[in-house]
A and B are shown apart, each in its own frame.
Chain A
Amino acid sequence: MRAVLDVRNLTTRFSTPTGALVAVNDVSFSLREREILGLVGESGSGKSVTLRSLIRLLPSIASQSGEVIWQGHDILKMSPKEVRAVRGGQISMIFQEPTTALNPVLPIGLQIDENLRAHTTLSHRERLNRARELMDLVGIPEAARRLAEYPHQFSGGMKQRAMIAIALASNPRLLLADEPTTALDVTIQDQILKLILDLRDELAMSVIFVTHDLGVVAATCDRMAVMYAGRIVETGTIADVFARPMHAYTRGLLGSVPRVGTERSPLMSIEGTPPGLSSIPRGCAFHPRCDFATNVCRVSQPVTETVEPEHDVACHNSLAVLEAGSPVQ
């Protein structure tokens, strides 16, 4: 399968009064057709900013470098008008908090209509039909009636479904999902994940899924990329990364997830807290918290290497980590 999205050396800086902060540092990955990529990391690791950087959805204090190749064109070099055509048309996004991401004073139907107006040439009647179709697609019953309702008349799960309907209105090829299930309770979370999986199959689109929930990643994604302090430290298929983590941070994350069906054992935790963007340590950013750290980690930033097929890691001691074994096996 060929790559639909190719990200090379993407770097996003924020210029602040106290100096430049690097929120996304030299990030590279690619995404294939119909693939779901999980972007995993703690709060502040830069996963949401990475996602927003792809479609340049950043405040004016941000500056970007690198390349985001989407269907042969670099999004970072596009004019504002071209970017607008990509956003919502070819690449859509859904957000963490459906309650605040929907406009409270406009009916749901009108919000779907807005996307169709911006990206299609459909007539009024066709847009109405399409809106009904979308409501069916995302599993909202009684579409005709609910199109006229306002967000506050929808439950949390239904709001996220409506958000997805708006995002999918113009048949995007890529869906960016920024923790779409974090604000929902567990049973609803499951329904929404299943919906996204179904839609991926039905509409043949790719998905980038930002989350800090490894359970969600294991259940939905094909591949995962682990982020720490603005960098991707490990990339691989779900099976590979879970079975043979090669970065000490990934191993720590896997060890901190409780599991059912195994003997009760204390959860591992990663000591310390992730560094702030203004105080990222020299060398490998993870070394102060790392059990495997050696002298070289303190002075030099590890480069990303392909250690196994489709399994990349940026760690000086990846073999030692690999030997220590996966905490989830």
Chain B
Amino acid sequence: MSIALYRTASLPRPLIFGGAILAASLLLAIFPSVFAPYDPNAFDYAALLQGPSTAHLMGTDNFGRDVLSRVIHAYTIDMQIAVFATVFPFLIGTVIGALVGYVGGISETIFGRIVDAVITFPFLVLVIAIVSILGPGLLNMYIAVGVVGWVFYARIIAAEVKVQKRLDYADAGRAMGYTHMRIIFRHLLPNAITPAVVYWMTDMALAILLGSSLGYLGLGAQPPAAEWGVQIADGKNFMATAWWISVFPGLAIVLTGLGFSLTGDGLAEVLRTKK
């Protein structure tokens, strides 16, 4: 009883702020049309390149599209990128990492070489290389990120499982005659997964940045889709005269990234005190 009270009373502040930002982002991502005042792709040649006003809170771009509406609609794509670009690396990396950490030996050596090979290249360069081979587009971007990203999760999980498998309760599981798979996934993994979950949150922030970068470079979401990176790229020729086209999507990236990072920090704190 006292424990439960203590826990709710001390929910870390980063988690509360981060959670609130993410909740709002999710709401915008699921119901963009409810919040957006205009159609994001409607041209209005009567209102080209207008600065922020009461009619257009974030101004309009060179086609007269409402920047606010485009920023809101972009939540749908960018939140999707945050989730899909990270969930597969998380799942694949967790399974492979748990197996490698438990089995050890040769599997560990081979895995170590793969890690070395992957981290030798800068992440963005590797992803851009893969996307340019597969062709631009969101699906290919997920594939490219997945091929590279699982390594980081697997490395975290493998290290944790390696520690956990030497503890008494793992021995106790073996003494009770449980299968190796059962010991790995039912007994060791719940004890090993915390750092990977925390990293996952941070990774989602990075995924949004990556998605926007690829969108900016024309390798991710394709125009005229409303996506923050694409919007920033669209506005780059007008930076001197119509800064609002690029700056507001940029702020949205910062805010959402902050939401994920704060949630990750807060989660780390909660999960750490629980132990």
Contacts and interface: CB of A to CB of B under 8 A. Distances in A.
A100 B166 CA distance: 11
Contacts of B173: 103, 114
Nearest to A103: B169
Given A104-B275, A105-B190, A55 B182 contact: no
A88 B171 contact: no
B133 interface: no
A119 B177 contact: yes
A79 to B, nearest CB: 13
Given A105-B190, A105-B191, A114-B186, A100 B177 contact: no
B35 interface: no
Contacts of A104: 169, 191, 275
B190 A88 contact: no
A220 to B, nearest CB: 21
Contacts of B191: 103-105
Given A103-B187, A104-B275, A95 B177 contact: no
A102 interface: yes
B178 A95 contact: no
Given A105-B190, A106-B190, A95 B179 contact: no
A227 interface: no
Nearest to B167: A100
A85 interface: yes
Interface string B178-193: 1100100011001100
Interface string A131-165: 00000000000000000000001000000000100
A84 B179 contact: yes
A37 B191 CA distance: 36
- Chain B at the A interface: mostly helix, strand, loop or mixed? helix
A153 B174 CA distance: 24
A104 B170 CA distance: 11
Interface size class of A (residues with CB under 8 A): 20 to 34
Interface string A79-94: 0000111111100110
Interface in A62-118: 83-89, 92-93, 95, 97, 100-106, 114-115, 118
B177 to A, nearest CB: 4
B172 interface: yes
Contact of B177 (A87, A97, A102, A163): A87
Interface residues of B, number: 19
Contacts of B3: 153
Interface in B130-164: none
Question: Which of A92, A93, A105, A163 neighbours the largest number of chain B CB atoms within 10 Å of its CB?
Answer: A105
Contact of A95 (B171, B186, B187, B190): B171
Nearest to B170: A103
A161 to B, nearest CB: 15
Contact of B176 (A97, A100, A105, A167): A167
A100 B174 contact: no
B177 A84 contact: yes
Question: Which of B176, B178, B179, B191 neighbours the largest number of chain A CB atoms within 10 Å of its CB?
Answer: B176
A218 interface: no
A115 B171 CA distance: 14
Nearest to B192: A105
Given A84-B178, A114-B173, 19 more contacts: A55-B175, A84-B179, A86-B177, A87-B174, A88-B177, A88-B178, A93-B172, A101-B168, A103-B187, A103-B190, A103-B191, A104-B275, A106-B190, A114-B178, A114-B187, A118-B177, A153-B3, A163-B172, A166-B176
Interface of A: 55, 57, 83-89, 92-93, 95, 97, 100-106, 114-115, 118-119, 153, 163, 166-167, 176
**Pairs A-B, 7 closest by C-beta atoms:** A88-B176, A87-B177, A88-B177, A100-B168, A93-B175, A84-B177, A101-B168
